[in-house]
Amino acid sequence: MTAAQRNCLADALVAGYDVLRRSASAVNAVEATIRILEASGLFNAGVGSRLQLDGARRMDASIMEGRRLRAGAVAAIEQVRHPITAARIVMEETAHVLLVGESATRFARHFKLERQPLPTRAKRNASRAMVRSQGQASELQRKTLRLYRAMSGRNTAELGTVGAVALDRSGTVAAGASTGGVALMLPGRVGDTPLIGCGVYADDAAGAVSMTGLGESIIRLAVAKEIADRLEAGVVPATAARLVLDKLVARMHGAAGALVLRTDGRFAIRHTTPHMCAGYWLGAGKPVVKDKFE
C-alpha cells in the first residue's frame, strides 16, 4: 500500500464517519466513502478501473441497506465516474436491483451522473504491455487471454475492488462495493461485486458484509450472504468471516477479503490474501489503516 493510498483510505473513513455523525443514514455513509475511493484513481474502481481485453473500461457496483433489504447494482457500466451512485439510483428510483451494460450507461446519463473520459492512449498502451508480459500471469489468466485472441483473431489485445460497511444511529446497516474487475478480463465479464449476496449483503437482522477478491469463487459460494447468515445465528464477525473464508479456500482455492459489521457494532476485517488495504475509525484519534489484518 502506497502512502497516497493510505491517506486516501483515511480520508474516506473520516468522510464516512462524518456522515454518520450528522445522523445521516448508513447508505449515505457507504456511498460517500466509496465515492472518494472511486475518484482517487488509486484503486481498481471508478477512474482507476482496469481495462478489459478490448480496451474498454467496464465497471460494477452495488449497494444495499438492511432495514428494508433494498438493493441496487450496475454491471459493465461505462464512462461513469461514480458507479456506486448509479447503483444507489437503481435502488431508489426503480423497481429493479441490477442494470447492466449499455442500458446501465444510458440510465446513468439520464440521471446526469458525472462522467469520466475514455481511456487514454497511455492507459491502453500500458494494458498492451501487460498482455505482452503474460508470462507473469497465472495459468487461468493466460487461458483467458488465449480464448480472447481466438475469439477476436488478434495477436495483441488491450488489457482491488473498493467497499464499505456502516451502521447508523437508527440501527440500520448498509454495505457497498465498486470495482473495475480483474486483470485480463474477457469483454463482458462480471464478478461478484454487483451480485447481491455474493459481493455485498446487508440485513438489520444480521449485519453488513462487503467482499473483495477473486469474484468467480466468491460467486460460487455466495460468500456475503453466508457470512450474514452466520451473523444472524449469533456468530461474532471475526469467527463468521474466518469460517466462511476458510471454506472458500478449502472448496474453491479462492482468495478474498471481507469487511463484516454486526448490528451491535462489533466488526472484523479478514482476508486470505497476503495483504488487504483496509481500515476503520471509531471517531477519536486517527483512522486505523493497514494492509494486513489478523
Joined grid coordinates for residue 143: 487461458
- How would residue 141 be classed by pLDDT, with cut points 50, 70 and 90? low
Predicted pLDDT of residue 284: 86
- How would residue 1 be classed by pLDDT, with cut points 50, 70 and 90? confident
Give phi and psi for 27, each to the nearest 5: -60, -45
Average pLDDT, the chain: 89
Query: What mean pLDDT do residues 51-61 have?
Result: 90
- How would residue 181 be classed by pLDDT, with cut points 50, 70 and 90? confident
Name the DSSP letter for residue 49. P
Share of the chain above pLDDT 70, in %: 86
To the query of whether residue 161 is one of the catalytic residues in this protein, the response is yes
**Which residues have CB under 8 Å from 30's CB, separation 6+?**
16, 63, 84, 164, 165, 166, 174, 175, 176
Q: How many CA atoms lie within 13 A of 114 on its CB side?
A: 9
pLDDT digits (tens, 9 = 90+) for 91-120: 999 999 999 999 999 999 999 999 987 765
**Which residues have CB under 8 Å from 86's CB, separation 6+?**
61, 74, 77, 80, 99, 104, 107, 108, 111, 113
In this predicted structure, the answer to whether residue 74 has a pLDDT above a threshold of 60 is: yes
Predicted pLDDT of residue 132: 52
Domain 3-118+158-290 is of which CATH architecture? 4-Layer Sandwich (3.60)
Pick the catalytic residue from 105, 144, 161, 212: 161
In this predicted structure, the answer to whether residue 186 has a pLDDT above a threshold of 90 is: no
